Amino acid sequence: MSADVALSAAEQVVALLREQILNGQLPGGAPVREQDVAAQLGLSRTPVREAVGRLVAEGLLIKDGNKTAHVFRPSLAELLEIYEIRAPLESMAARLTCEAADKDFVRDLERAGKALENAEPGMAWSRQHEAFHLLLARGGGRRRLELMVTMLRVQSEPYVRFAVAGDHQFPQRAQHDHEEIVRLVASGDGKGLERLVRNHLLATSKQVSNLLAQAASAPTASHLSRRSAGRPR
């Protein structure tokens, strides 16, 4: 994608762990032992330790005291709080994106919308969904806003994926909103877009939390309903 020739080991570990958490290879609650990761990657603990520290600061890993770090798994209340924060930030970012959108951007967004519409429900759809919303979160060049939205999305993304897995009509229900989003950006209606994105997020929040509550009361085979997961070798 880009010419990142000289990434430090620590940064590579950050990227790898983040990817594995997003993939679900490292499910919520899974322990992340420094030596294990180091041994797996043929590194010393030092860069791994640094990577873990950063991911803790980022909120993807949790650590208290001198205990082993674990993959972040929000309670229902925490997940709702994340969406509460995302709603104003992401809707504002969308408005700013809209206000700064040129023709090229509109075309890119339309393409992403099409790709999302045609994606198979499951992992492919999740990827497209993420890409679509990250485009919308550009914020007209506001890097910090974009970064914060990205981090918050990453923290909640695994749970959206879970919801999609448990309810294959989920994408279909969101489709209308996505089409409307593209339309509003194309017509330059920033205010309307802001409202819509906010409502879209709050609706998603409700659906995801309902599915999670459901899964918690009727435990399926999903890792999301277990309280602890074995180490991934």
From residue 180 to residue 209, what is the string marking binding to a copy of itself with x (rule CB under 8 A)?
A: ------------------------------
Q: Is 50 in the site for DNA (CB under 7 A)?
A: yes
Q: Which of 16, 20, 49, 207 binds DNA (CB under 7 A)?
A: 49
Q: Which of 23, 25, 40, 46 binds DNA (CB under 7 A)?
A: 46
Q: What's the sign of the alpha-carbon dihedral 80, 212, 118, 203?
A: negative
Q: How far apart are CA 47 and CA 67, in angstroms?
A: 18
* Residue 127 in tokens: 């990827």
Q: Is 210 in the site for DNA (CB under 7 A)?
A: no
- Residue 53 beta carbon to DNA: minimum distance, rounded to whole angstroms: 8
- Residue by residue, DSSP assigns 37-93 as HHHHHT--HHHHHHHHHHHHHHTSEE--TTSPEEE----HHHHHHHHHHHHHHHHHH
If contact means CB under 5 to 8 A according to the sort of partner, which of a copy of itself, DNA, none does residue 60 touch?
A: none
**Phi, psi dihedrals of residue 25, rounded to the nearest 5°:** -60, -35
From residue 100 to residue 139, what is the string marking binding to a copy of itself with x (rule CB under 8 A)?
A: ----------------------------------------
Q: Which of 10, 87, 152, 197 binds DNA (CB under 7 A)?
A: 10
Q: Is 6 in the site for DNA (CB under 7 A)?
A: yes
Cα angle 132, 120, 14; round to 5: 55
If contact means CB under 5 to 8 A according to the sort of partner, which of DNA, a copy of itself, none does residue 9 touch?
A: DNA
Contact 161, 123 (CB under 8 A): yes
